Structure 1
Amino acid sequence: MLSKPLKTRVYIVDDHPIVLEGIKNFLQSKSDDIELKGGCGTGKEAMEALLTEEVDVLLLDINLPDMNGIDLCKLIKQQHPDINIIAISIYNERSMITKMLQNGATGYILKNASAEELYTAIKTVVNKSLYFSTDVQRSLFEAALDDPLDLPRLTRREEEVLRCIGEGKTTSEMASQLFVSTHTIETHRRNLMQKFNVSNSAALIRMATQYNLL
């Protein structure tokens, strides 16, 4: 009698409860060949879980509340080199994709991907192959042709916040000028630092200046 194939053990790291539960529910429907090992919403919880859980594939949101997902990817691969990491992100910039690959990820899909595409990505990377969703592949190709400086793509609001940061405005001043809450300003600031892969406003201004955005 042939032995039953081992299930692919999957763990999810995403700080959006709806996204987390949605992925969990889908993977549980694939229980014939996938074993869901759990999920969490922070980098700290992920590192703690991986101390006890045996995981084949980690689905990793890049934008976490306590840690840069790109740095977390590198840390996990250093401590658990056999884990296959698939980045799940709203960002489609070549800079973020390549940094995740440099830090050990073997897949990158966008959050608008279908459930079946997620399943395909999991089965692909567990077989030691790279997986990129179609939009990510297109982004990499177009960026290589048209954007040699790898300029991060910013929303209109992010551009406005970036200019305010460059002018030295405080969070409260920015919120007042742009008619939004301070929480919204901090979210944009965090997204900007994520896109430029920096950890503070000074480094953000320096990078933006290099790209002639300020």
Structure 2
Amino acid sequence: MRIIISDDHPVVLMGLKAALQSYGDRFRIVGEARNGKELIQLLAQESCDLLITDFSMPGDPPAEDGLAMLSRLRESYPQLPILVLTMLSNPALVQGMLATGVRGVVDKMSMTKELMLAIDVIRAGRTYLSERTRKQIENVSIAGEDAGTLSPREAEVVRFLAQGLTVSEIARRTERSVKTVSQQKRDAMRKLGLDGDKQLFEYARSSGLL
């Protein structure tokens, strides 16, 4: 099985590569990328049977990160199975990943235990979610829509705001208008009952957006 791996942390790339190589000749890593730009260039040059990529890989151009990057990959490579390996655990973002066609989401903290299982599930044509991720989504479903649940796009706006980006920068990164991003920020803060940017950062940190 030919695999391309992508992560902006060299240590994670090394760990992922070592984990895959421990299964002998079952997998062959045919390329590595450290940001969205490198990944898109690599996929244009090298075919693979599975892409394992991080979700948050800030870089230039700004659109090649997060949901925008995954949407672009799905548009360019509709048949390519994508497995996201991430530290982010927010249910809204995970649902956004699945909406782009991602076939699996694995928590980096559980990579050693769940990576092989996720690959087997994906190869069987099914979708895999880490145990922690599944539980969080189930909890949100039980709580219902009145529990301040953000949409995937609202969650991504909050993630970027907590990273220190301005509304204009987020608009460029997500290829949305400033008006749209501003509205999504207001909607997110209203749903969460937040009064300012400090509370927004605290929410992002506590809810798996950072």
TM-score, structure 2 as length reference: 0.72
Which one-letter code corresponds to 1:81 in the other structure? Answer: P
Give the match for residue 150 of structure 1.
Answer: 149
Which one-letter code corresponds to 1:207 in the other structure? Answer: D
How far 1:33 sits from its partner (Å)?
A: 1.2
Give the match for residue 207 of structure 1.
Answer: 187
Which one-letter code corresponds to 2:132 in the other structure? Answer: D
Give the match for residue 203 of structure 2.
Answer: none
Q: Which runs of 5+ in 1 are unaligned?
A: 1-7, 153-161, 163-184
How far 1:147 sits from its partner (Å)?
A: 4.8
- 8 Å CA contact retained: 1:57, 1:126: no
Percent identity over the alignment is: 25
Pair 187,23 (structure 1): closer, same or farther in 2 beyond 3 Å: farther
Match of 2:163 among 168, 172, 188: 188
How far 1:49 sits from its partner (Å)?
A: 0.5
Q: Which runs of 5+ in 2 are unaligned?
A: 152-157, 196-210
- Partners of 1:19 and 1:40 in 2: how far apart? 12
- Partners of 1:116 and 1:32 in 2: how far apart? 20
Query: 1:126-177, CA deviations, whole angstroms, 9 ceiling, x for partnerless residues?
Result: 221100111011011001112524249xxxxxxxxx8xxxxxxxxxxxxxxx
How far 1:34 sits from its partner (Å)?
A: 0.9
Give the match for residue 51 of structure 1.
Answer: 44
Which one-letter code corresponds to 1:213 in the other structure? Answer: L
- 8 Å CA contact retained: 2:107, 2:130: yes
Higher relative contact order (CA 8 A, sep 6+): 2
Which structure 2 residues correspond to residues 73-112 of structure 1 after superposition, within 5 A? 73-112=70-109
- Partners of 2:87 and 2:184 in 1: how far apart? 20
Give the match for residue 133 of structure 2.
Answer: 136
Query: 1:103-126, CA deviations, whole angstroms, 9 ceiling, x for partnerless residues?
Result: 110101111013241121112212
- Partners of 1:74 and 1:49 in 2: how far apart? 17
Task: Report the RMSD for the aligned CA atoms in angstroms.
Answer: 2.6
Pair 26,209 (structure 1): closer, same or farther in 2 beyond 3 Å: closer
- 8 Å CA contact retained: 1:28, 1:34: yes
TM-score, structure 1 as length reference: 0.71
More helix, by proportion: 2
- Larger-Rg structure: 1
Give the match for residue 29 of structure 2.
Answer: 36
Give the match for residue 5 of structure 1.
Answer: none
Match of 2:117 among 117, 120, 127: 120
- 8 Å CA contact retained: 2:150, 2:188: no
- Partners of 2:78 and 2:161 in 1: how far apart? 34
Give the match for residue 168 of structure 1.
Answer: none
- Partners of 2:137 and 2:162 in 1: how far apart? 26
